[in-house]
Amino acid sequence: MPAATGNSAYLAIDQGTTSSRAILFNQQFEMIYTAQREFPQYYPKNGWVEQDPEELWQSVLNVAREALTVASDLKLSVKHVGITNQRETTLVWNKESGQPVYNAIVWQDRRTSGYCSSLSVHENLVQQKTGLKLDPYFSASKIRWILDNVEGAAELAANNKLLFGTVDTFLIWRLTNGNVHATDVTNASRTSLFNIHSQQWDKELLALFDIPAALLPEVKDCADDFGRTQAGLLPVVLNISGVAGDQQAAMVGQGCVTQGSVKATYGTGCFALVNTGCHCDINHTGLLTTIAYRLNGITHYAVEGSIFVAGAAVQWLRDGLGLIEKAADSEAIAGQVGNEHGLVVVPAFTGLGAPHWDPDARGAVFGITRATTANDIVRATLESICFQTHDLVTAMSSGGNPPTILKVDGGMVANEWFCQYLADTLNVPVVRPKVMETTALGAALLAAFQAGDITELNQLAEANPCQREFEANATDSAREQRLTQWHKAVKATLLMTS
């Protein structure tokens, strides 16, 4: 059992795509305890991804109860909880019974691609109002699919008997016993229904997707009063005080609360966000514009880009090719390979993300000779993730003000060779934080902000200090040579699908 520090703590519920976690943080925002439960994904048809809402709910309930029981054993007082969640995943439920009318349709689901294509003439309208692409990724088309395809759903919606929510909204509804139907601005901004300029649900977008406004939750600040948990549901009654989508919560957890600050989270893929301050810049370089957070009624925006394959490429080395036994082996292997291996891997296993946005691109390996070894492939694969990050950051910097540092988190950044090569590729310092669970930390910090224990943005910026900084030390000529090879390989890859 971990030792207690102080007599109060915050609970963060981190509801992810494959598991739910509840993490206790002490008054210094150090992690005390983590409870985690995995739950299954369902793939009823090609391109469809679903979750059972009850399994998702039970996983959250179980981890929250476990963490709060530990807090009680440690004689810690927990009064506030922050929630962070997988974004865009869509649930619709009966307002009277509280029962979902269909499974949760996960953000990865592509079933509405044809429907989105049918609306392509409206793509500029959607982007100008929401900062997003017209894509099945976002929530609006998923809601429309449920209303069109679930028996009785359209009639229930017309009679004001259905509610929509992203995962945060569904959890708040359940935790408060149906007393609060609310979301925060970051999750609202990922639905394709929320005008990020006026900060309201947009009537024109609702008409475009033919979605009744009565389905939609109230939209609040990220640090706000989201109600209190139902008595008896958890070991203690909690104030739900902070909510943000996972990538925005990671921004807060990384202290990226000043204009120009950038964070990149390396999980299965990579999500990079740059804080653009109070200026909403609708981006036209293959990136998304989204709300970073809203505190005390003041909105900060972000430009976001995604790499489809990051940690998944290391999984491919391990599970697909059998070149490594475990992911951590890639660090030592990459360090053994010289700079002149000449290999370029383009890991476009599921297409290329920002700034290329080519869903039909597929992976390729260039520069193979008789001298090529398995170790060369391992190193070139790690390099490819750094090169993709370079392209992403370059696109983010298209309006000027390139980042002076990159803050990183996620499982891949435990690999120190990768962090150093990333710094060399970007030619900026790469900073790894003390608390790596930045998403959960962000939720806890937002709850503390609402509780009044944090009152200034600079306190958020200082809450997660640097654990290690990697300084760039590559020569300009070496950097440019490798990037030139990379861009030639990407161009060739894209030509294969054109």
pLDDT in tens, 332-385: 988 898 888 889 999 988 778 777 777 778 889 999 999 899 999 999 999 999
Q: Determine the pLDDT at residue 187.
A: 97
| Among 236, 232, 196, 193, CA closest to 24 | 236
Q: Determine the pLDDT at residue 422.
A: 95
What letter represents residue 307's amino acid?
I
pLDDT in tens, 73-90: 999 999 999 999 999 999
Query: Looking at residues 467-474, what average pLDDT do you find?
Result: 90
Residue predicted with more confidence, 31 or 4: 31
Q: Determine the pLDDT at residue 1.
A: 36
Query: Looking at residues 13-42, what average pLDDT do you find?
Result: 92
Instruction: Give the whole-angstrom CA distance, residue 295 versus residue 244.
Output: 11
- Binned at pLDDT 50, 70 and 90, residue 399 comes out as low
122: left (phi over 0), alpha (psi -120 to 50) or beta: alpha
Q: Please state, rounded to an integer, the average pLDDT across all residues of the chain.
A: 90
468: how many CB neighbours lie within 10 A of its CB?
12
Query: Looking at residues 386-408, what average pLDDT do you find?
Result: 83
How far the first Cα of the chain sits from its last, in Å, is: 58
Instruction: Please check whether the domain covering 8-244 is classified as CATH 3.30.420.40.
Output: yes
Query: Looking at residues 311-322, what average pLDDT do you find?
Result: 88
* Collapsed DSSP state (helix, strand, coil) of residue 322: coil
pLDDT in tens, 411-434: 889 999 999 999 999 999 999 999
- Binned at pLDDT 50, 70 and 90, residue 6 comes out as low
pLDDT in tens, 134-190: 888 899 999 999 999 999 999 999 999 999 999 999 999 999 999 999 999 999 999
Is the backbone peptide bond immediately before 355 cis, with ω within 30 degrees of 0?
Answer: yes
Q: Contact 167/15 with Cβ under 8 angstroms?
A: yes
| Among 233, 220, 257, 302, CA closest to 459 | 257
Query: Looking at residues 3-10, what average pLDDT do you find?
Result: 70
Q: Is the pLDDT of residue 2 over 60?
A: no
Chain centroid offset of residue 11 CA? 20
Instruction: Give the whole-angstrom CA distance, residue 409 versus residue 14.
Output: 15
Instruction: Give the whole-angstrom CA distance, residue 59 versus residue 467.
Output: 31
Structure tokens at 423: 């710094």
pLDDT in tens, 188-243: 999 999 999 999 999 999 999 999 999 999 999 999 999 999 999 999 999 999 99
Instruction: Give the whole-angstrom CA distance, residue 233 versus residue 240.
Output: 14
SS3 of 205-238: the string is HHHHHCCCHHHCCEEECCECCCCECCCCCCCCCC
DSSP string, 366-430: E---TT--HHHHHHHHHHHHHHHHHHHHHHHTTTS---S-EEEESGGGG-HHHHHHHHHHHTS-E
| Among 428, 434, 35, 10, CA closest to 240 | 10
Helix (H) / strand (E) element for 298: namely strand 298-307
Instruction: Give the whole-angstrom CA distance, residue 403 versus residue 428.
Output: 8
Q: Report the C-alpha dihedral over residues 158, 90, 126, 246, rounded to 10 degrees.
A: 150
Contact partners, residue 471, CB within 8 Å, separation at least 6: 423, 429
DSSP string, 132-190: S-SSTTSHHHHHHHHHHHSTTHHHHHHTT-EEEEEHHHHHHHHHTTTS--EEEHHHHTT
CA atoms within 13 A on the CB side of 29: 31
Q: Determine the pLDDT at residue 4.
A: 41
Asked if the domains at 8-244 and 255-433+465-498 fall in one CATH topology, the answer is yes
Q: Is the pLDDT of residue 53 over 60?
A: yes
Instruction: Give the whole-angstrom CA distance, residue 263 versus residue 273.
Output: 6
Instruction: Please check whether the domain covering 255-433+465-498 is classified as CATH 3.30.420.40.
Output: yes
Instruction: Give the whole-angstrom CA distance, residue 406 versus residue 393.
Output: 9
pTM: 0.87
- Give the start-to-end residue ranges of the domains of the chain: 8-244, 255-433+465-498
